[in-house]
Structure 1
Amino acid sequence: MNRQIEPLLGYNINVISHFLKNIYNEKLSEYGLTSAQAKVIYFLAEHGEQTQSALQNRLYIKASSMNGIIETLLKNACITKDSSSEDKRTKVIRLTKKGEELDQTIWSIIKEIEEEITEGFSEEEERVIVSWLKKIQNNLTEDTKDARE
């Protein structure tokens, strides 16, 4: 029985994910952000105001983790959190001016890191890799949905 982990796809994706998270967190820490907080800012900038639960689902994170991210972004004046006009229990999250400015910085960091990780790849190779990763993501989200039902 072959028990080598290095050739396994999941192991290698996990290692790359670990490296990327460390790189993002190092670069973002200069602005007082984590990669999780940066994702929230990016999604709000890209898609406009969101309910807290919609952000949580979009980012595939637990409610407790989302609460911590939101509280930190609120404390740092990057977002506002208000009750929905339709349902007071629902919280709507919006970017502040500071959050919008940080989004520009975040996007610059994303582009810089993308250049680093795609060095030596052709555009076609990048498209193929992204296509494969999206297939894996779909496989995993389908399995996750099936397990919850």
Structure 2
Amino acid sequence: MMQKLEHQLCFEVYKAANQFTKLYAKTLAPFGLTYPQYLVLLALWEEDQQTTSSLCEKLCLGIGTLNPVLQKLVEKHWVQKTPSSQDKRAAHFSLTSFAKETQPKIEQAIIHKLFCSDFLLSEGPALKEHVHQLNDFLARMNKGEM
């Protein structure tokens, strides 16, 4: 007998991901950024000057998904694209001075939006740990380790 949609863990995770995307989209709109663009910037703020393949790996995105996001960030002057000197097919992406200067404003907007209530302050760390464990488990399942 098939379980109801509302009882499925996968559906709850799906809904939570959609809610996060909506929340971030509203918060990032004044900066002209989408949620995927913000994720790329987060990766570059952590470690500037990365290749497309390293960004794909960090963000768990395919090249076909990431390339249009990177192209938009280049067009909007958030990142700079430099062809690799060793591999003509590869490129390096680095933050522009605008992206570096705007980072604190974006971080402040995110903090203000996410932590305007006590829920994420008190429950966030435990939720993050549980979702991290779930992702590790699912990755092992997908690799056939279980």
Q: Distance in 2 between matches of 1:47 and 1:131?
A: 23
Partner of 1:30: 30
Q: Distance in 2 between matches of 1:92 and 1:22?
A: 30
Offset of residue 55 of structure 1 = 0.4
Offset of residue 97 of structure 1 = 0.7
Offset of residue 146 of structure 1 = 4.2
Q: Distance in 2 between matches of 1:25 and 1:138?
A: 27
Partner of 2:136: 138
Change (3 A) 1:8 1:113: farther
Q: Match of 1:6, SS? A: helix
2:100 is the counterpart of 1:85: no
Q: Distance in 2 between matches of 1:28 and 1:43?
A: 16
Q: Which moved more, 1:82-91 or 1:53-62?
A: 82-91
Question: Is residue 28–residue 106 contact of structure 1 (8 Å, CA) maintained in 2?
Answer: yes
Tell me the number of residue pairs that the alignment of Structure 1 and Structure 2 aligns.
145
Change (3 A) 1:39 1:121: closer
Q: Structure 2, unaligned stretches of length 5 or more?
A: none
After superposition, what is the alpha-carbon deviation per residue over 1:30-72, rounded to whole angstroms, capped at 9, x for unaligned?
1111000011111101112110111011111121111101110
Change (3 A) 1:126 1:32: closer
Deviating runs (4+, > 3 A) in structure 1?
120-123, 143-147
Question: Is residue 38–residue 106 contact of structure 1 (8 Å, CA) maintained in 2?
Answer: no
After superposition, what is the alpha-carbon deviation per residue over 1:92-144, rounded to whole angstroms, capped at 9, x for unaligned?
1000011112322332233223314x624674x43322211101111222334
Change (3 A) 1:41 1:17: same
TM-score, with structure 2 as normaliser: 0.86
Identity of aligned residues (%): 23
Question: Is residue 56–residue 63 contact of structure 1 (8 Å, CA) maintained in 2?
Answer: yes
Question: Is residue 25–residue 35 contact of structure 2 (8 Å, CA) maintained in 1?
Answer: yes
Question: What is the root-mean-square deviation in Å for CA atoms of aligned residues?
Answer: 2.2
Q: Distance in 1 between matches of 2:121 and 2:93?
A: 39
